[in-house]
């Protein structure tokens, strides 16, 4: 079984979505993955400036086969999610899988416009998108 390397872009303000998504992926049958995301306790947060932080995030995205982005409306206003999109699409040519948060009626237009696919908050849809779009 293939192991899929993924980077999950997320806001720590909405960390529970990240935790729930990680749990869904871990519990998905016939699916193995390695998460290259930036956890709260990662020293990447100790970067002394935006340039260092961007480079640290880029190094996290580089080994990933795809970038998953929680597509809630908050993502439109997130400085770092927008930078992660630029790194993934323009610098590293990584596919972006946008995930509509559970119960969301609207999603970020920035994320939607840059996504290779938009899927709902459903583990089988997310896993299928990863399998189809991973490099």
How many domains does the chain fold into? 1
Q: Which two tokens stand for residue 105?
A: 């009626």
- Average pLDDT, integer, range 87-114: 88
Candidates 36, 37, 40, 34; CA nearest to 13 is 40
Contact partners, residue 121, CB within 8 Å, separation at least 6: 99, 100, 101, 102, 103, 104
Domain containing 37 — which CATH number? Answer: 3.40.50.9200
Look at residue 66 in the predicted model and tell me its pLDDT.
Answer: 96
Residue 90, domain extent: 3-133
Which DSSP symbol is given to 38? -
Whether the predicted pLDDT of 1 surpasses 90: no
Confidence check: pLDDT of 13 > 80: no
Per cent of the chain over pLDDT 90 is 53
Distance of CA 33 to the CA centre of its chain: 13
Other C-beta atoms within 10 Å of 130: how many?
Answer: 23
């Amino acid at each position: 079984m293939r192991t899929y390397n993924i980077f999950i872009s997320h806001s720590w303000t909405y960390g529970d979505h990240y935790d729930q998504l990680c749990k869904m992926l871990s519990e998905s049958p016939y699916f193995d993955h390695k998460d290259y995301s930036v956890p709260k306790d990662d020293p990447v947060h100790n970067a002394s400036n935006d340039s260092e932080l961007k480079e640290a995030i880029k190094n996290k995205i580089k080994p990933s086969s795809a970038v998953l982005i929680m597509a809630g409306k908050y993502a439109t206003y997130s400085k770092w999610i927008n930078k992660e999109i630029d790194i993934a699409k323009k610098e590293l040519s990584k596919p972006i899988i946008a995930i509509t948060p559970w119960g969301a009626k609207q999603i970020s237009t920035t994320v939607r416009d840059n996504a290779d696919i938009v899927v709902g908050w459903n583990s089988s849809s997310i896993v299928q998108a990863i399998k189809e779009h991973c490099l």
